[in-house]
Structure 1
Amino acid sequence: MALRPWTTATRCLRRQRVLPCNAARTTHTAPNSNLESSIESPEDWHLMQENRARFKTLFDLFNQHGSTQTREKTFQPHHTLSRPLAPSQTTLSALVAAGAHFGHTTSLMNPNFLPYSFGTRAGLTIIDLEQTLPLLRRAASLVRAVAQRNGTIIFVGTRPDLQDTIQRASERLGPQGYHIGERWLPGTLTNRNQLFQEESHQYRLTPDLVVFLNPLANMNAIRECAIQHVPTIGIIDSNADPRIVMYPIPANDDSPRTAQIIAGVLSVAGREGVVARGEDQKTYQHQAHRILIKQALTGEGNS
């Protein structure tokens, strides 16, 4: 049986269409393209230069209306851990992106958490972030004030996914920051003289502020802080009573990203307090030095 002419192999092969050089050159031809590879005369060279100039003009024109965002400017998921926001830069959109508004099921909601509840959605309690943001900034102001007065701050997070968060948060405060990531030893504050017999006279064993990232798992630590009158900050979810800590921050305590953004904001505020304390010390030393110079010039010290 003879093959039909339109089913032969030569008819099925895709033939490449060859365009003439003059038809291929347009005002939108990009530089260094394949259409500029064949230059046979001085006219072709001038056409190529004109095309490049036109393309550059169009590129500069539309580039003014394009996006200027880069990787350093745009948000990345790891920025909440490595490059946290300052308290003044924290927004509701950042908290929503971290999932801070998701609470527990409505059956687990604590009655005392009702003022911080926005509503319910698909059986879950939605946390009102418009109250979370000012409470977070209030807690940041407290951390900044404590750090500025040379106070010690402890970050407590006893879940495995909170280890890096509390470690980096405490490192931003330098020697004034500490963290507990495995287990709060019972009696650390109430029985500190017996646990730290040799160090009880050399170091300050009572912290000035404690931040809890998962407070329900550290109720013993919260009780000891209450007995010793130590201020506490905690991320309070919908299944917890906001009154267990002095400065509650209503948010999702099960989300690692929420813990990262809250701990990052608080640690940045503490670092600002440490820097302000260093500047205050320099100002005090400068004033004291000026007073000594003035006394030496006037002769008040000799009399």
Structure 2
Amino acid sequence: MEKVEVKDLLEAGVHFGHLTRKWDPNMAPYIYMERNGIHIINLYKTAAKIEETCAALSKIAASGKKILFVATKKQAKDIVAEKAGAVNQPYITERWPGGMLTNFVTIRKAVKKMASIDRMKKDGTFNSLSKKERLQVDRQRAKLEKNLGSISDMTRLPGALFVVDIKREHIAIKEAQKLNIPIFAMVDTNSDPRQVDYLIPSNDDASKSINKILSIVASAIEDGLNERKAERTEKDGKSKKSESKPEAKSTARKRKAVVADQEEE
């Protein structure tokens, strides 16, 4: 995991909160002071919360569960797609598909539809359609790709949600709460931190701040994935050893039998 330095968080502008008149009083413990009508976040508390959040996310990644990233605001979209994609985690950066979690079966059907269109293109069925039908199928595929492309490999509900701006993504938050899916989030001074399980008090509007936090988070997830990989390699190694032992014994038996036969001759 990337080391969390308060100096780096300061440089990325993570400490800038919202206007004081827009604040949520539940964020009071994480506010350091007020300057020019803006709340300033206490970065020492942010750093502590980042470490707590990253330890939990790393554990989830090591268990083999997926972490679904949600950020549909303009300044976060590309960053989330890049960082989540780099550690092979699903993400939603277009409109949140209502029922994405609570009606997961329907979403999976849409993903399967996308896969079946791809199969049609591979096996040549697509070419046998009329020009108009091909156009319709292409449009449908493009729409599905835009909304669900990044979650096409998600065959079961995620182990956690990571959200940038919980006020904006309130529908996703509600769905995760209903299903008791742990929620991790960047929480600004205008939001209620009680809605999430793990919060990172931070500026969720500036791309520099979002980029900094997500780089650290992605690094922690990568650590968890590497740990899982190492454990699997170790297990495979042990099972191969145990498989080869009986072989060695049977070879030794064969040798003894051959020696005995020669002695009898």
Which of the five TM-score ranges fits, normalised by the shorter chain?
0.7 to 0.9
- How far apart in 1 are the matches of 2:248 and 2:208? 60
- How far apart in 1 are the matches of 2:212 and 2:68? 17
Name the SS for the 1:136 alignment partner.
Answer: helix
Higher relative contact order (CA 8 A, sep 6+): 2
Per the alignment, residue 209 of structure 2 pairs with 258
1:192 counterpart (104, 108, 112) = 104
Name the SS for the 1:229 alignment partner.
Answer: coil
Name the SS for the 1:234 alignment partner.
Answer: strand
Once the 2 structures are TM-superposed, how far is the Cα of residue 106 of structure 1 from its aligned partner? 1.8
CA contact (8 A) 1:155 1:169 kept: no
- How far apart in 2 are the matches of 1:218 and 1:290? 50
Name which of structure 1's ranges 91-100 and 268-277 shifts more when overlaid on structure 2.
268-277
2:238 counterpart (262, 287, 291) = 287
1:200-252 Cα deviation digits (max 9, x unpaired):
8x962311111111221110000000111111111111111111111011011
Runs of 4+ in 1 over 6 A off after TM superposition: none
More helix by share: 2
Q: Which runs of 5+ in 1 are unaligned?
A: 1-85
Tell me the amino acid that sits aligned with residue 281 of structure 1: R
- How far apart in 2 are the matches of 1:152 and 1:133? 24
Per the alignment, residue 165 of structure 2 pairs with 214
Per the alignment, residue 122 of structure 1 pairs with 36
Q: Which TM-score applies when normalising by structure 2?
A: 0.75
**What pairs up with 1:55-94 in 2 under 5 angstroms?**
86-87=1-2, 89-94=3-8
1:154 counterpart = 2:105: no
Tell me the amino acid that sits aligned with residue 12 of structure 2: A
% identical equivalent positions: 26
Once the 2 structures are TM-superposed, how far is the Cα of residue 297 of structure 1 from its aligned partner? 3.5
**What pairs up with 1:21-170 in 2 under 5 angstroms?**
86-87=1-2, 89-170=3-84
- How far apart in 1 are the matches of 2:174 and 2:46? 24
Tell me the amino acid that sits aligned with residue 49 of structure 2: L
Tell me the amino acid that sits aligned with residue 46 of structure 2: T
Name the SS for the 1:233 alignment partner.
Answer: strand
- How far apart in 1 are the matches of 2:84 and 2:107? 23
State how many pairs are aligned.
Answer: 211
Which has more radius of gyration?
1
